[in-house]
């Protein structure tokens, strides 16, 4: 490679890696705030599903932080390569950069797998723990992971499978909640409950749309627009963590708000005669309580 061509390549490479790392750091800061808030809100839950959600959130945070660290290392190496252009060591560090790039891709695939598993569990709970419903999305998730970490990586195929999985889970989950909302309207249940179903549907559809848009940006980048691919990759990497963590925060805050409403006011000591409490028909926004398992409250 000629010295001028090498300089152009290393310069563009350094700029692209810095762009990706900069975008990732910005969104990672937002994610860390959401993660800490999710731990705070979920720790106040009193239902059995709390431990599972906290563990899942911590695992996703660990993988996301590892990916962020690799992003920063790649940016540092790209800068060093440019600085050491006139030294023979450049070729050696180019190999290191390519290796770390492969590691970052595998971490991203694993991160996507963990996020999809959390969404699959949400769909499973909403559908009343019917296993046949999650067979198709489960196969898509496993296939995406297998192809993504295979020695012969097919980036385009992996992105297509990831997008298909997201659309499938979003359709199943939002469709089920929409059906439950229709039943609530037909039975003339509380308007607050029906509005919560509406909010849940909007949140699920919006998160699914954001995920698909990020995947489409990566598609465009793979067509030859490397700057778009690197920036889109940094954004997509953090969205994998932000979207499920935001859902956990929303569930936790909503549950905390309902808990405060249930606490009696200390200033009043007038005994009240309360009507019989009806069996719960549904749940909080994204925290569905199954009608046949009232004590089982999980993220959905």
Contact (Cβ atoms closer than 8 angstroms) between residue 218 and residue 233: yes
Shortest CA distance to 69 belongs to which of 91, 98, 100? 100
Q: What is the pLDDT of residue 258?
A: 57
Query: Whole-angstrom Cα distance, residue 154 to residue 199?
Result: 37
Point out the least confidently predicted range of 174-188, 207-221, 224-238, 270-284. Answer: 270-284
Shortest CA distance to 23 belongs to which of 207, 220, 239? 239
Q: Which of the pair, 65 or 180, is modelled with greater confidence?
A: 65
Token pair in block for residue 201: 């549907």
Domain ranges of the chain: 3-259
The secondary structure of residue 266, as a DSSP letter, is: T
Measure the CA angle with vertex 299, ends 138 and 132; round to 5°.
Answer: 30
Identify the band that residue 136 occupies on the pLDDT scale cut at 50, 70 and 90.
very high
Query: Whole-angstrom Cα distance, residue 213 to residue 215?
Result: 5
13, β-bridge pairs: none
Shortest CA distance to 70 belongs to which of 116, 17, 33, 123? 17
123 pLDDT exceeds 70? yes
Contacts of 291 (CB under 8 A, 6+ apart): 279, 280, 281, 282
267 pLDDT exceeds 80? no
Q: What is the pLDDT of residue 290?
A: 42
Whole-structure pTM value: 0.79
Query: Whole-angstrom Cα distance, residue 185 to residue 191?
Result: 8
Neighbours of 117 (CB within 10 A): 18
Instruction: Note the pLDDT tens digit of each residue in 43-73.
Output: 877 766 778 888 999 999 999 999 999 999 9
Identify the band that residue 261 occupies on the pLDDT scale cut at 50, 70 and 90.
low
Token pair in block for residue 61: 């945070």
Helix, coil or strand: residue 287:
strand
As a whole number, mean pLDDT of residues 228-238 equals 92
3-state helix, strand, coil in the chain (%, to 5): 75, 0, 20
As a whole number, mean pLDDT of residues 185-200 equals 77
Q: Which of the pair, 197 or 240, is modelled with greater confidence?
A: 240
Query: Whole-angstrom Cα distance, residue 213 to residue 239?
Result: 11
266, with CB counted inside 10 A (0-12, 13-18, 19+), is: exposed
Helix, coil or strand: residue 241:
helix
Query: Whole-angstrom Cα distance, residue 198 to residue 278?
Result: 22
170 pLDDT exceeds 70? yes
> Is domain 3-259 annotated with CATH 1.10.3470?
no
Query: Whole-angstrom Cα distance, residue 79 to residue 21?
Result: 12
Query: Whole-angstrom Cα distance, residue 38 to residue 55?
Result: 11
As a whole number, mean pLDDT of residues 241-249 equals 89
As a whole number, mean pLDDT of residues 285-293 equals 44
């Amino acid at each position: 490679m000629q010295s001028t061509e090498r300089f152009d390549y290393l310069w563009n490479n350094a700029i692209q890696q810095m762009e990706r790392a900069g975008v990732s750091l910005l969104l990672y800061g937002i994610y860390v705030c959401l993660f800490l808030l999710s731990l705070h809100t979920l720790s106040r839950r009193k239902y059995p599903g709390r431990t599972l959600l906290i563990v899942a959130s911590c695992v996703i945070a660990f993988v996301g932080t590892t990916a962020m660290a690799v992003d920063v290392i790649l940016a540092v190496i790209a800068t060093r390569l440019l600085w050491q252009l006139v030294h023979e060591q450049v070729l050696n560090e180019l190999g290191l950069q390519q290796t770390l790039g492969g590691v970052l891709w595998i971490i991203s695939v694993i991160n996507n797998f963990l996020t999809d598993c959390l969404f699959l569990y949400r769909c499973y709970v909403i559908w009343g723990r019917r296993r046949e419903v999650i067979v198709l999305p489960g196969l898509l998730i496993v296939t995406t992971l297998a192809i993504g970490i295979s020695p012969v990586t097919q980036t385009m195929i992996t992105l297509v499978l990831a997008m298909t999985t997201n659309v499938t889970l979003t359709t199943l989950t939002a469709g089920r909640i929409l059906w439950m909302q229709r039943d609530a309207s037909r039975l003339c249940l509380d308007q607050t409950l029906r509005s919560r179903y509406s909010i849940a549907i909007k949140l699920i559809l919006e998160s699914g749309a954001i995920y698909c848009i990020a995947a489409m940006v990566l598609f465009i980048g793979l067509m030859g627009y490397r700057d778009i691919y690197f920036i889109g990759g940094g954004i997509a990497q953090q969205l994998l963590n932000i979207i499920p963590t935001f859902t956990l925060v929303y569930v936790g805050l909503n549950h905390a708000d309902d808990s405060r409403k249930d606490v009696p006011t200390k200033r009043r000591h007038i005994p009240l005669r309360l009507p019989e409490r009806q069996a719960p028909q549904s749940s909080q926004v994204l925290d569905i309580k199954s009608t046949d398992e009232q004590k089982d409250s999980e993220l959905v």
